[in-house]
Copies of this chain bind each other. A is one copy, B any other.
C-alpha cells in the first residue's frame, strides 16, 4: 500500500473493545469511517463506529460482508482465528501483516524470531511432555515459569516452577498444550516502547514508559521511564529493529525488562497497547491516530512527547472513583462504555499530566 486512503474511506477493525473504540475515534479525526467486527454483543467500539457486525469469526458470510464494506482491515487484538484471517486477506489488505500476527500468537515463534534478529529474551525452552520439561529445567534452572505457547494473557495459562518438584503440577496445568519454560529474569523495571512504522517504511517510537502491574494487570504507565540515556536509546533501537525486520505497518507495543545486563524483550503486541494510552495526554498525535495513519497509508504523525504523564488503569470498581477524578486538574478521563464493572475488567483509564 503506497497511497494515502482518502478521507471518506473506511477502516475495518477486528475486535470491538476499548482499543477498537479509541481507534475509531482517532479515525474520525482523519475523516475516516470505521466498521467493527466483534462476536460479543454491545461492543464498546460500536458507540463510535459507523457500523457493527456482530458475528462469530467462523461466519464466512459476515466476514465477507465486513471486508467488502471496508478499504483496509486492522485489529485490536491478536488472537484472531487463522481461517478468518485467510478469508479476509483474500479480500482486503490487512495491517499489521500476517507474520507479526503469527509471531505474537505463539511464544515459541516470538522468542525464536527475537533471538534470530539478535535480541535478548529470557532463557527459554519448548516443553511438550515430562521429559522435555525435565531437560528444560536442567538447562534453565529454577525458579522459572511455564506458559502455554498460545492464547495466554493477563497471567492465564501460566504456572510457576519454584523448584523441580513443582514440575508435574505445572505440566498438568498446561492441559496438554505445547508450552515454553522461561527462566526468571532479575529485572529492576518493565518499560514499554510504543513503536510505529508507516507504509513508507518510516519508523517513529514514542518515549519509553515505565509499567507497574498489580494482580497481573497493568496498573500504571509513567513517562518518562527512569532510564539512562543509553538504555532509552537502546529501547527505541530494539523496537525499531523488530518493526523493520517484520516489514511492519502499524503500531506495536514492545515490553522490555530492565536488567543489570541491559534490556531484555518480554513480549510484543502487534497493536495499540494499554501502556501507550498516556500518548493521548502527552503527544500531538496519539498511538491510536498513529496506528490509523499507518494502516491507511498516511505519513506518521508527530509523536514527540511534550509532557510528563502518569496513566492509571481503572479496573473493576475503580470506575466508581470517576466523580473524584473528574474534579482533578490536569487529568483526562477515558471511559470505555462497558456496562458492568466486573472484577479485573478494564473499565477506563485516566491520564494525569505531571
Q: Which residues of A pack against B, CB within 8 Å?
A: 4, 7-8, 21, 24-25, 28-34, 46-50, 281, 284-285, 293, 298-299, 301-302, 304, 306-307, 319, 322-323, 326-337, 339, 348, 353
Say yes or no: A319 contacts B28, CB within 8 Å.
Answer: no
List residues of chain B with CB within 8 A of the CB of A30.
333, 335
Q: Which of B293, B302, B331 contacts A302 (CB 8 A)?
A: B331
What is the CA–CA distance of A47 and B50 in the complex, to the nearest angstrom?
Answer: 4
Say yes or no: B304 contacts A307, CB within 8 Å.
Answer: no
List residues of chain B with CB within 8 A of the CB of A21.
28
Say yes or no: A326 contacts B353, CB within 8 Å.
Answer: no
Say yes or no: A329 contacts B307, CB within 8 Å.
Answer: no
Knowing A28-B25, A47-B50, A50-B46 touch, does A304 contact B333 (C-beta < 8 A)?
no
Knowing A7-B319, A302-B329 touch, does A336 contact B284 (C-beta < 8 A)?
no
Say yes or no: A327 contacts B299, CB within 8 Å.
Answer: yes
Say yes or no: B25 contacts A48, CB within 8 Å.
Answer: yes
List residues of chain B with CB within 8 A of the CB of A339.
8
What is the CA–CA distance of A65 and B339 in the complex, to the nearest angstrom?
Answer: 23
Say yes or no: A31 contacts B284, CB within 8 Å.
Answer: no
Say yes or no: A48 contacts B24, CB within 8 Å.
Answer: yes
List residues of chain B with CB within 8 A of the CB of A328.
302
The 9 closest A-B pairs by CB, nearest first: A31-B335, A48-B48, A302-B329, A28-B48, A47-B50, A299-B327, A7-B335, A299-B326, A33-B47
